[in-house]
Structure 1
Amino acid sequence: MAGNGDIQWCFSQVKGTLEDDVTDADIISCVEFNHDGDLLATGDKGGRVVIFQRDPISKNCIPRRGEYNVYSTFQSHEPEFDYLKSLEIEEKINKIRWLKRKNQAHFLLSTNDKTIKLWKVSERDKKVEGYNTKEENGQMRDPSCITALRVPVIKPMELMVEASPRRIFANAHTYHINSISVNSDQETYLSADDLRINLWHLEITDQSFNIVDIKPTNMEELTEVITAAEFHPLECNLFVYSSSKGTIRLCDMRAAALCDRHSKLFEEPEDPTNRSFFSEIISSISDVKISNSGRYMISRDYLSVKVWDLHMETKPIESYPVHEYLRSKLCSLYENDCIFDKFECCWSGNDTAIMTGSYNNFFRMFDRTNKRDVTLEAAREIAKPKTVLKPRKVCSGGKRKKDEISVDCLDFSKKILHTAWHPSENIIAVAATNNLFLFQDKF
């Protein structure tokens, strides 16, 4: 798929229980590979972060396999209560972002609606024995009983992975945080909520700079909200943010301290033939991602994925329908609130392919080189290693062919909102409710 003809994707692993009674806390709310793809983190609605580590044997064998084992699990956020506003603050993890590795330890940022935390994940495989002032069980010894000095020795022990919170960045957002993004300088990061974007230094927790503020003086005049924000992967002064009005703004922090005036505005004029009651809702952008090369970006709205050239604001250079067959179903999708689902999108490591999710546990891939696309399914029926995924087809009317599924039979409670692509290999992670599916190319 990823730019070299038609890759056949096959099942690698599934994480999580394949039971039908799923508790709300177990639903995966974000998925993120680290910069070399050796670690994969998921956050869930219960505030937990689970980190999977690439199996070294699967990485080095021929052909290579993408197999991951649980490396560390920790509770990142707890439910809180804001007594001033009488509001419950959910523990659900909205986003996870890895920092580039500088030493043996790994660092990641995780956020719920209000509070961002910086976690250090480190290994311990040695322990010190032979203390003078305390017993092996940790009890303090009576100083009068110590008659000789011992030289402590370092002994090997079973590997322990420890996650410890290093910094807590709180109280800077009035509204719910929807995005965090680490800058390419690896010293600062941004956090965005519905109306504001803040710039933080990773070492400073008690202050942040407000770099975008779209809050009107009179809230009745509010016409749009910020839906996603991301730093440019190479230029530390540039960032983009998308809005519920279907626009993306590129801002340059060198131009002004408050980036209320954007440098570029990316917006596609609406096709008048498609105008409907739902036009504004479905044009809202739920995710925006700049390509690894820094030249392009993708935006996901309810029905499509668009590719933009950062040098061209007038219209996208590519547009891919994700599930056009749902256009006739918008009324019922509005009634069951599905029309407000926020689908994410991601780039392949070499920017030649795009992946995003849909309903019925379907996810879509678009090959930008040969303009082909495929619909695949994350289903437990295929949960046998090396099972090749069969392309799925949805028919929206007329006669249904043998392999097709009717649009009326789609399960809208099974939705793939979160996906991630390994930075350098054809390994993908797809979150389906409480399960994490891993797929890889067949070769």
Structure 2
Amino acid sequence: MDLMVEASPRRIFANAHTYHINFISVNSDHETYLSADDLRINLWHLEITDRSFNIVDVKPANMEELTEVIIAAEFHPHQCNVFVYSSSKGTIQLCDMSSSFFEEPEDPSSRSFFSEIISSISDVKFSHSGRCMMARDYLSLKVWDLNMENRPVETHQVQEYLRSELCSLYENDCIFDKFECCWNGSDSVVMMGSYNNFFIMFDRNARQDVTLEASRENSKRCASLKSQKVCTGGKRKKDEISVDSLDFNKKILHTVWHPRENIIAVAATNSLYIFQDKIN
């Protein structure tokens, strides 16, 4: 008979959140974890299911005065008293029960109607070493040194070519998409998704990036992926794709990298693709 796989809950932690739970992160002490919704972050003990401790609460007394929501949260990989969360205002709060505040000053000349929306931090991840963290907003990815709060040490433009399309992206609600990001095992490469089933990798040492596509047509077993390029203005080259031809219904929001091997998984709508570094 066919193999049947069924999941059954070991423990149920309930009645602590009023809104959708967006992020869960297990602590390095292997005893606690955090859960985050739009307005609160709660700390749980793995052996206690009927109560939690509220460690962050951004809910105002009057909900009409609400100006920001929590987007992402994660525990530090080594320091059990340190966690980070990002907000829709584009700020990153590093908390070790005393807090650090990470925010890059905005250039007033580039401010527009969409500035606050596209500056929302959709994901934040500590590096495996614990020395850095990266934060993904709509058009860029920034790497921060935990000892330097005033500016990021790296800024990578992810889909800058969409800046001219923000009006239409706002009308079809794509501008509110939340893209995740991830590190490779050695923290030398970062990866994130985009539209048209594209995903982008930045090699931090070589200062190079590559855009690849996850699709059934291009993902035959053992086949190599071809680098993709989007036309950013002027005359389109033969091997480039115009912004107008991008499919915004196809998007990779979730990405993950194997902690030791060069194996990645990307989720494209209702499909999961697993890719491996070329083997001789």
Give 2:188's aligned amino acid. T
Query: Structure 2: which amino acid aligns with 1:343?
Result: F
Report Cα offsets for 1:87-134 as digits up to 9, x if no partner.
xxxxxxxxxxxxxxxxxxxxxxxxxxxxxxxxxxxxxxxxxxxxxxxx
**How far off its partner does 1:272 sit?**
2.1
SS in 2 for 1:299: strand
Q: How many residues align?
A: 278
Residue identity in the other structure for 1:417: L
Decide whether the 8 Å contact of 2:219 with 2:225 is kept in 1. Answer: no
Structure-2 residue corresponding to 1:251: 95
Match of 1:188 in 2: 32
Work out the CA distance in 2 between the residues paired with 1:351 and 1:218.
42
For 1:168, the equivalent position in structure 2 comes to 12
* 1:395-414 mapped onto 2 (5 Å cutoff): 395-414=231-250
Q: Distance in 1 between matches of 2:199 and 2:103?
A: 26
| Counterpart selection for 2:202 from 366, 376, 380 | 366
Alpha-carbon distance in structure 1 between the residues aligned to 2:4 and 2:57: 37
Map of 1:201 onto structure 2: 45
C-alpha distance after superposition, 1:154-205 (max 9, x if no partner)? xxxxxxxxx3311111110011111100000111000011111100011111
- SS of 2:8's partner is strand
| Corresponding position of 1:285 | 121
Q: Per chain length, whose mean CA-contact separation is higher, i.e. which structure has more relative contact order (CA < 8 Å, sep 6+)?
A: 1
Is residue 177 of structure 2 the alignment partner of residue 341 of structure 1?
yes
1:389-424 alpha-carbon deviations (Å, 9 max, x no partner): 111011133221111111000000000000110000
Q: Hey, what's the Cα distance between the residues in 2 that align with 1:357 and 1:438?
A: 14
**Pick from 241, 251, 254: which aligns with 1:418?**
254
Residue 210 of structure 1 aligns to a residue whose secondary structure is: strand
User: C-alpha separation between the residues in 2 aligned to 1:177 and 1:73?
Assistant: 26
Task: Name the aligned partner's letter for residue 236 of structure 1.
Answer: C
Query: Is 1:431 matched with 2:267?
Result: yes
Local SS of the residue matching 1:413: coil
State the match for 1:99 in structure 2: none
- Give the distance between the partners of 2:222 and 2:147, measured in 1 at CA: 42
Corresponding residue number in structure 1 for 2:82? 238
- Deviation, structure 1 residue 285: 0.4
Match of 1:328, SS? helix
Distance 2:270 2:5 in 1: 15
1:393 to 229, 244, 249: 229
Q: What do the CA deviations read for 1:356-397 (whole angstroms, capped 9, x no partner)?
A: 000000000001001100100001112222211111011133
Query: Secondary structure of 1:381's match?
Result: coil
What's the secondary structure of 1:311's corresponding residue?
coil
C-alpha separation in 2, matches of 1:276 and 1:205: 46
C-alpha distance in 1, partners of 2:5/2:209?
A: 36
Q: Which residue of 2 aligns with 1:101?
A: none
Unmatched tracts of structure 1, length 5 or more? 1-70, 75-162, 256-262
Q: Secondary structure at the match of 2:169?
A: helix
Displacement of 1:73 in angstroms is 4.2
Q: Does 1:271 align with 2:107?
A: yes
Report the Cα distance in structure 2 between the residues aligned to 1:72 and 1:367, rounded to whole angstroms: 40
Structure 2 CA distance, aligned partners of 1:238 and 1:72? 40
